[in-house]
């Protein structure tokens, strides 16, 4: 039961930290999200290229 409470507190603290970051630094937060999306796109393209090369 204590572990569940700690998990809830950690979740709320994480959400609060993200909200604070977005409110305090919206430009930096947008840049960070853009970087993450770019990284995920590059990773997906790399996986697609790998799979295409394996099966061709």
Note the pLDDT of residue 3: 67
* 0.85 surpassed by pTM: no
Q: How confident is the model at residue 54 (pLDDT cuts 50, 70, 90)?
A: very high
For residue 33, what are the CA distances in angstroms to 2, 9, 37, 40, 49? 34, 25, 6, 11, 24
Is the pLDDT assigned to residue 16 strictly greater than 70? yes
Residue whose structure tokens are 């990773």:
43
Domain boundaries, the chain: 25-56
Percent of the chain scoring above 70 in pLDDT: 93
């Amino acid at each position: 039961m204590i572990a569940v409470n700690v998990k809830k507190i950690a979740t709320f603290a994480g959400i609060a930290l993200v909200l604070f970051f977005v409110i305090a630094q919206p430009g930096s937060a947008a840049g960070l999200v853009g970087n993450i999306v770019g990284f995920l796109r590059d990773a997906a393209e790399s996986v697609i290229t790998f799979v295409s090369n394996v099966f061709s």
